[in-house]
Structure 1
C-alpha cells in the first residue's frame, strides 16, 4: 500500500501548475542578472561612463513596456486562451533577451529590454490567472504561490550565473547570462504551447462544455470542485459548501451543453465591465496593492543589491556579488515554507503584519544612515544594515511576495479576472519602473532617503489593508465574491465606529453608586 502511494502520479492540475510556474523563473532570472551585469567592468566599458540616472534608465527600460502590454494581456488571454497568451508573451520575452545578449550598441541593448518587457507584461500576470482557474479551492493558496517560488529560484540562478561569469575577460561576462535567459525562454514558450491544456473555465465561457469536461478529467480536478466552478460561469446556482463538509452543498444547474448564447459569448475585456460598480472596488484594491508591493522597495533591493552592499561597506565586486547571491538563496529558502503554509496564514493578517515588519526594517536602516552610524571600516552599524537587508527580503517573501499576487487575482469577478489582474500587474510595472529609476539616484544623493521612502509606503499600505482588506483564505471564489461585497459596505464602518466608541467610552465620567 505504501509503495503504491509512492508511485501514484501527481494530479494533472499540479503538473500544469509546475509547468506554468516556470514562467516565474524567467522573470526572476532577469531580475537577478540585470543588476550585477550592469556593474561588471566589461559592461561599464561597453556603455562608457554613465550617471546613476542613466544606469537606472537602462535597468528600468523593461518596465514601462511591460506595464503597457499588461493592459492588453487580459484581452489576449481571453481571446486566444491562457496557454497561448503565455506562450506568445514568453516567445517575445525570449527575442528581447537574445537581442540584449547579442547587442552591438547600448541602443540595441535597450531595444532588447523594451521587447523583453512587452513579452513579460503579456505573460506574467496570466500565470496566476491560469493557476487560479484550475486549482481546487483548498489547494489554491499553495499552488498560486508556485510562480513566486520559481521567481526566487530564478533570482538565485541569475545572481550566481553573474558571479560565475564576472571574471570572464571579455563581453561574454555580461552577455552569457542574457543568452542563457533567451534559451530558457524559448524552451518555456514551446513547452507551454505544446503541453499546457486550456483553462476549462475559458472553454466553458466559450461554449465548449464537452472539451472543458475532458480537460477537467485530464487535470484530475474532483467533481465537488468542478461543481463550485460551474457557479462562476452562471450555468447554475450553487450554495457553497463548507471546507469541513464539502458534501453539504446543494447544486442545481441546467443542461451544460453549449447553446447559441454561450457559443457567441466572448469574454474579452470591455473597459466598462472592469469599471462597473461591482468590479471597480476590487480592481482598485488590486491596483493599489500591486503598486505598493513594488513601492515596498523589494526590486530596489533585488536590482541594486550590489550597490546596497557596497554602500554598507562591502568593497570588492566579488563580495558584493556573493552577498547578493546569498540574499537570493535566503529568499528562495523561505519561499518554500511560505508556499506550503500559504493557506494556513490569513491573507489579510499576513499582509498587515508583513507590512509593519518591513516598515520597521526600512526605518531602522534609514535611521542608522541618517545618524551616521554606518561605517565601512568598523562598527556594528554596517552589519546591522546588511542583516536588515536580508531580514527585509525574508519578511517580503513570506508576506507580500506570497499573498498579494494571490489576493489580487482571486478577488476579481470571473468575467473580468484576467483583465483586472493584468491591469493590476500594469500598476506593478509602473511603480517598479519608478523604483528602478530613482533608487540609484537616491543612493547617490542621500544614503537614507530611499529607506525612509520605502518604509513610509509599507506603513501606509498596512494601515489601508487594516481598514479595507477582507480575508479570502480557504474560501471558494463565490464565497470571496460575497465576502468582498460585504466588506466594502461594513468593513471600514465597523472599524471606524469601533474606534469612536472606545474613544467616547474612555472620555465618559465614571459613576459611583451612593
Structure 2
C-alpha cells in the first residue's frame, strides 16, 4: 500500500471525536442489555425453580435492587470524573458493573443474586451519566445533538439483544438459560472497561479546567475539531472563568490570552468548583432544579415499568404463553430501536423543547387510554379488541418515548449546566432518575397485582404534569454552544414566549382591576 493510498484511507475516516463518541456510546448498550434481560430472566421457569416462586413484592425488589445503589453512586460520579478524568471515571464504573453481573451469573441463592445487582448498580451509577458529559464536551455544537443521542441508541439496541437473547436461552433446559445472559453481559463489560481506558481521549474542556491548556489544544487537534469551533469554545469557556473569578465581562480575545487566563485562573481559584454547594449558586440553582425534575419525571412516565415488566404486561393483556410474551417483548424492543435511529438523525432539527412537550402529550394520551380500557373492563384475555388495543398502545408508548423523552431529556440535563458544575449536576440528575426508576420498578408489579388500571393513570398523570411544567420553564438549546446555553439561562429570558406574554397580560389586567 502506497503512502498516498494510506493517506486517502485515513482522510475518509470520520473525525476522532465521532469515533470516540461511538465507543463511549457502547456503555449505553450494557445498560440496555441489563434492562432487557432482567424482566424475562425473573419469570423463567429455571430461575424460579432455582430460587423459588417470587411474590410481587420480592419480584419488584429483585428487579429494582440495582437502582438505589445506582442513585447513590451517581451522586458522586461527577466528583470522580472531575478528579480522575472522564475516561477513567467511565472505565472504573464499567469494571464495577462487570463484577456485579459476574456475581449474578454465578449466584447460588437469591441473596447472592441481589447483592450482585447492588454492586452492578454502583458501577452503573458511576459511569452512565459521565458518558453524556464526555460526549457533550468533545463534540462541536453543530454535532452535539446527534452524537449525544448515541448512548440512547445503544440502550435500545441493548434492549433488542437482551430480549432476544432471553427468548433464545429460555429453551435451554438448565440454569444456563438465565445465567448465560449475565455471562455475556459481564464479558462485554470487562472488554469495554479496558477499551475506554486505553482508547478514549481525555476531554479538552476537562484539561482546560485543570490548567492544561497546551495539552487541551493538542487534544482538540487529535479529536479533529475545527479551529473556528474550538477557539470559540475555548474563548467562551475562559470568559466563564473570568466572570466567576473577577466579575469582568470581557473575555479573552486570542488563543494566547486563553492560555494565560487559564494559568492565572488555575493558580488563583480555590478547588471547590464542581462541589455540591456550587449546584445551588444563584446562577445555577434553577438549572439544577430543572434537570433533577425532568430526569426524575422521565422515569415516572412509566417507561421502565414497560421495559422491565413487558412480559408481565403482555400476559396481563392476554398473551398467556410465556413464549408469546417474550416474543412480544422482543418486538417492542425492535420498535424502540427502529425509531431511535431517526430520532438520532433529527435530534437538532426537532429541538429539545418541542420534542419534550409534544412527546409528553402523546405519552399522557396513551397511558390514559390503556387505563380507561382496563377501568371500563374492556380488556378480556381470550377475546375482544380491547386486549389488542392495549398491546398496540404499549408499542406506541415505547415508540413515542424513544422519539422524544428518551432522546432529548438526558441530553438537555447535561448541556444546560455550566462547565464548572456539568459533571456533578449531571450525575445528581441521574441520581434523581435512578431514585424515580427504583419507585417504578419496585411498585409496578405490586400495583398491577392490586389494580389493572391504577398504574396507567398514575404514569399518565406524571407525564401530564411534566409536560405542563416544561412548557412553562424549558428554553430551547438546539444548535447552541454549551456557553451560549449558559448565557440563555443567565438572561432569564426563556420558556414559552406565548406563556410569558399571557402571564404578563394576566397580571396587568389584575392590576388594572385593582
- The TM-score, its normalising length taken from structure 2, stands at 0.92
- Summarize the Cα distance change of 1:396–1:126 in structure 2 as closer, same or farther, 3 Å threshold: same
1:46-61 equivalence runs, <5 A: 46-61=50-65
Distance (Å, rounded) in 1 between the aligned partners of 2:370 and 2:292:
28
Aligned in 2, Cα 1:466/1:77: closer, same or farther, shift over 3 Å? same
Task: Quote the residue 1:13 is aligned against.
Answer: 17
Q: Does 1:166 align with 2:170?
A: yes
Q: Does 1:137 align with 2:141?
A: yes
* 1:256 Cα offset (Å): 0.7
**Is 1:451 aligned with 2:435?**
no
1:175 corresponds, among 174, 179, 199, to 179
Contact 2:102 2:116 survives alignment (8 Å): yes
Q: Is the 8 A contact 1:439 1:450 kept in 2?
A: yes
Residues of 1 paired with 2:67 and 2:75: CA distance?
13
Aligned partner (choices 305, 309, 312) of residue 304 of structure 1:
309
Structure 2 CA distance for aligned equivalents of residues 483 and 325 of structure 1: 42
Q: Which residue of 1 aligns with 2:83?
A: 79
The partner residue of 2:371 within 358, 363, 366 is 366
Distance across 1 between alignment mates of 2:11 and 2:424: 40
For residues 252-304 of structure 1, what are the alpha-carbon distances to aligned partners after superposition, in whole Å with 9 as ceiling and x for unaligned?
45151563652686576312211111111101000000000000000000000
Q: CA deviation at 1:440?
A: 0.3
- The Cα offsets for residues 105-164 of structure 1, whole Å up to 9 and x where unpaired, read as 111100100000000000000000000000000000000000000000000010001000
Partner of 1:204: 208
Match of 2:259 in 1: 256
**2:235/2:258 contact within 8 Å kept:** no
CA distance change for structure 1 residues 499 and 72 in 2, over 3 Å: closer, same or farther?
A: closer
Q: Deviations over 1:343-393 (max 9, x none)?
A: 101211110000000000000000000000001111110110010000000
Q: Does 1:442 align with 2:447?
A: yes
Match of residue 274 from structure 2: 269
Find the aligned partners of 2:267 and 2:21 in 1 and give their Cα distance: 28
Asked if 1:34 is matched to 2:38, the reply is: yes
Q: Is structure 2 residue 338 aligned with structure 1 residue 343? A: no
Paired with 1:419 and 1:339, the residues of 2 have a C-alpha distance of: 25
Cα contact 1:357–1:395 (8 A) shared by 2: yes
Instruction: Find the residue that maps to 2:320 and give its secondary structure.
Output: coil
Residue 104 of structure 1 deviates from its aligned partner by: 1.1
1:97 corresponds to which residue?
101
Deviates more, 1:163-172 or 1:265-274: 265-274
Checking the alignment, whether the CA contact within 8 Å between 1:158 and 1:177 is kept in structure 2 is: yes
Change (3 A) 1:5 1:459: farther
Counterpart of 1:380 (choices 382, 385, 388) is 385
Q: TM-score, normalised by structure 1?
A: 0.92
The residue aligned with 1:291 is 296
Matched-pair contact (CA < 8 Å) for 1:63–1:117: yes
List alignment gaps of at least 5 residues for structure 2: 1-6, 243-250
| Aligned residue runs from structure 1 range 111-510, under 5 A | 111-234=115-238, 251-252=253-254, 254=257, 256=259, 259=263, 261-262=265-266, 266=271, 269-487=274-492, 491=495, 495=499, 497-498=501-502, 501=505
Measure the CA separation in 1 of the matches of 2:215 and 2:199: 16
My pick for the range that moved more, 474-483 or 388-397, is 474-483
Query: What is the Cα deviation at residue 6 of structure 1?
Result: 10
Please give the secondary structure, in 1, of the residue aligned with 2:191. helix
CA 1:255–1:479: 2 relative to 1, 3 Å: closer
Pairwise CA distance, 1:98: 0.1
Secondary structure of 2:259 counterpart: coil
Query: Conserved in 2, the CA contact under 8 Å of 1:83 and 1:192?
Result: yes
Tell me, what secondary structure is at the counterpart of 1:437?
helix
Q: Distance in 1 between matches of 2:272 and 2:19?
A: 26
Is the 8 Å Cα contact of residues 350 and 399 (structure 1) preserved in structure 2? yes
1:197 alignment partner, SS class:
coil
- Greater helix proportion: 2
Shift of 1:222: 0.6
Cα distance between partner residues in 2 of 1:75 and 1:250: 28
Distance in 1 separating the partners of 2:111 and 2:476: 47
State the alpha-carbon separation in 2 of the partners of residues 462 and 24 from structure 1: 26
How far does residue 477 in structure 1 lie from its aligned partner after superposition? 1.3
Counterpart position of 1:242: none
The range that moved more, 435-444 or 208-217, is 208-217
Structure 1 runs not aligned, ≥5 long: 239-248, 509-514
Kindly indicate whether the alpha-carbon contact (under 8 Å) linking 1:206 and 1:264 is maintained by their aligned counterparts in 2: no
How many Å separate the matches in 1 of 2:74 and 2:379? 41
In structure 2, the residue matched to 1:512 is: none
